[in-house]
């Protein structure tokens, strides 16, 4: 399954809209077939650290991070020099809300593969999970800077930094970061949603509706229109209040 995901040569970031519609049931069935094949093959010989890493990727795709954690931990006992495995272990730990352990895994990945953009992003998210905001922002800014001169950029650290600024009501700071994320990944749903929320909080309602009302699955444009109208009425009411 992992080899199929890489066959196109294109890695979709979380939130990216694929070129073709994915049948999640068919995908999950293929992943479970892959896991069954591994289990059968393991009867005839000890799997390698690489085999265990691939199995863990299947569990990541299924959203079973506890199982992914288990197999990645074992794979890293056999091959502790695998930066990619440390990155995915960090992802699994983060999704289990085990943020301290996630930080350790991402830091180990960065020791083995300096300037690994997604590991830097994961490190920032893990610090944020512990409410260590200054370290979170610094890590996300580092991740953004590491890809500045790259032809293949990921929007993830920009989206996550913009989202963190949104949570802190730093909407003016979030805006240019999220606008850049949308330029990097125009098909990324999460980038448009986060940018739309920023515009909404800045009372730039038409721009918010443009971002949040795009024809992507799962975005209720009718609900958005109500929210934008409510915000418009609220902003007018506030403008009439005496200072």
Residue 131 shares a structural domain with residue 207:
no
Last residue of a domain, one of 105, 129, 149: 149
Is 13 part of any domain?
no
Domain extent for 58: 48-149
Of 30-39, 106-115, 201-210, 228-237, which gets the smallest average pLDDT? 228-237
Of 4-8, 77-81, 181-185, 217-221, which gets the smallest average pLDDT? 4-8
pTM above 0.85, yes or no: no
Last residue of a domain, one of 149, 174, 206: 149
Of 143-147, 148-152, 156-160, 214-218, which gets the smallest average pLDDT? 214-218
Report the alpha-carbon distance of residue 12 to residue 82 in Å, rounded.
Answer: 22
Tens of pLDDT, residue by residue over 6-31, are 333 334 444 444 444 445 666 666 66
What's the rounded mean pLDDT across residues 67-80?
Answer: 90
Confidence of residue 57 (pLDDT cuts 50, 70, 90): confident
CATH number of the domain to which 235 belongs: 1.25.40.10
Q: Is the pLDDT of residue 131 over 50?
A: yes
Confidence of residue 34 (pLDDT cuts 50, 70, 90): low
Is 29 part of any domain?
no
Residue 155 DSSP symbol: S
Residue 231 shares a structural domain with residue 162:
yes
Residue 57 shares a structural domain with residue 145:
yes
Q: What angle do CA 64, 215, 60 make, to 5 degrees?
A: 10
Confidence of residue 37 (pLDDT cuts 50, 70, 90): low
Q: Decide if 135 contacts 141 (C-beta within 8 A).
A: no
Is 200 part of any domain?
yes
Strand, coil or helix: what is 16? strand
> What's the total number of domains in the chain?
2
Is 57 part of any domain?
yes
Residue 144 shares a structural domain with residue 204:
no
Residue 139 shares a structural domain with residue 172:
no
Looking at 81-204, list the stretches that DSSP marks H as alpha helix, in order from N- to C-terminal side.
83-95, 99-112, 117-129, 133-146, 156-167, 171-184, 189-201
Report the alpha-carbon distance of residue 92 to residue 177 in Å, rounded.
Answer: 27
29 vs 15, 23, 35, CA distance in Å? 22, 10, 10
Residue 143 shares a structural domain with residue 166:
no
Is 211 part of any domain?
yes
Q: Mean pLDDT, the chain, as a whole number?
A: 79
Residue 68 shares a structural domain with residue 138:
yes
Confidence of residue 148 (pLDDT cuts 50, 70, 90): very high
Last residue of a domain, one of 124, 149, 174: 149
Report the alpha-carbon distance of residue 220 to residue 222 in Å, rounded.
Answer: 5
């Amino acid at each position: 399954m992992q080899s199929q995901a890489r066959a196109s040569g294109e890695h979709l970031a979380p939130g990216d809209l694929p070129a073709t519609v994915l049948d999640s049931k068919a995908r999950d069935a293929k992943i479970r077939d892959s896991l069954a094949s591994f289990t059968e093959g393991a009867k005839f010989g000890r799997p390698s650290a690489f085999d265990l890493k691939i199995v863990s990727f299947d569990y990541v795709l299924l959203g079973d991070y506890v199982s992914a954690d288990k197999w990645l931990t074992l794979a890293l006992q056999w091959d502790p020099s695998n930066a990619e495995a440390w990155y995915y272990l960090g992802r699994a730990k983060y999704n289990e809300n085990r943020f301290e352990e996630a930080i350790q895994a991402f830091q180990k990945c960065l020791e083995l593969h300096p300037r690994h953009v997604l590991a830097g992003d994961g490190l920032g998210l893990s610090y944020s999970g512990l409410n260590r905001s200054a370290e979170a922002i610094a890590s996300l800014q580092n991740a953004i800077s590491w890809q500045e001169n790259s032809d293949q950029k990921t929007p993830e650290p920009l989206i996550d930094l913009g989202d963190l600024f949104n949570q802190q009501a730093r909407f003016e700071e979030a805006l240019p970061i999220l606008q850049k994320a949308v330029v990097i990944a125009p098909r990324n749903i999460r980038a448009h949603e986060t940018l739309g929320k920023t515009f909404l909080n800045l009372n730039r309602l038409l721009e918010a509706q443009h971002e949040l009302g795009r024809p992507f699955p799962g975005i209720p444009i009718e609900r958005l229109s109500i929210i934008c109208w409510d915000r418009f009425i609220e902003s007018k009411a506030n403008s009439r209040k005496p200072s």
